[in-house]
Structure 1
């Protein structure tokens, strides 16, 4: 799908290193927020926001998630941040890490008018 390709191209162009997933697998509950900085993403998580500039509904995930579709913000977000500690974040366009995918390096973040979505994730390239 068009959005997946855009996200893949963007994610593929990021040249930062490493990333970690701390703690157990799973997702934390989302929070509704007013304008906030990417720094509101806790260490060890990958976070997405519904709005650009890290605004609106935020969702954070840790661990491997075979189905992110239960979190509505993952189906239409405009800001993201990989605040992992040792691993890169690998997203997939389909459940159970299938379909097209891309890797977002630890520390990478982005925002803008593009709408992105993800249906599953895992952590890779752990150091």
Structure 2
């Protein structure tokens, strides 16, 4: 597995709880422009960027997704932001909600020099 330990430690160590948001799946294709700020992530979405400091191609996802592997930026990113409206973002290192997992709280954003990936996701801890 390529999931870096740093991402697993940061995201997985923040919150480890279960739950699932019932709703439609949705993922948007990577943007062609190079976003320059975390604020480019629309409310209600989880966003990743290919580069550090929210640069490069952005990919966003809403809803529950059993397979994110067709979205290239989710397979190699360095910045992320959970701009969800009312839920934390639960990521998985394998498709169909398998492998290791962690939870990124609503409002949490960061970047680093590591290369990270997410294969599937759910939303959890919804208020």
**TM-score, scaled to structure 2:** 0.88
Aligned to 2:95: 95
Aligned to 1:45: 45
* Runs of 4+ displaced beyond 2 Å: 1-6, 12-15, 32-35
What is the Cα deviation at residue 123 of structure 1?
0.1
Aligned length: 121
Residues 77, 115 of structure 1: 8 Å contact kept: yes
What is the Cα deviation at residue 37 of structure 1?
0.5
TM-align CA RMSD: 1.7
CA distance, structure 1, for counterparts of residue 119 and residue 28 of structure 2: 16
| 1:64 to 1:54, Cα distance in 2 relative to 1, 3 A | same
Aligned to 1:64: 64
Residues 33, 55 of structure 1: 8 Å contact kept: no
Residues 34, 58 of structure 2: 8 Å contact kept: no
Residues 94, 118 of structure 2: 8 Å contact kept: yes
Note the residue ranges of structure 2 that are not aligned, 5 or more in a row.
16-20
**TM-score, scaled to structure 1:** 0.88
Aligned to 2:85: 85
Residues 4, 114 of structure 2: 8 Å contact kept: no
State whether structure 2 residue 29 is matched by structure 1 residue 29. Answer: yes
Q: Determine which structure has the larger strand proportion and give its number.
A: 1
3-state SS of the aligned residue for 2:7? helix
Residues 68, 119 of structure 2: 8 Å contact kept: yes
Note the residue ranges of structure 1 that are not aligned, 5 or more in a row.
16-20
What is the Cα deviation at residue 26 of structure 1?
0.9
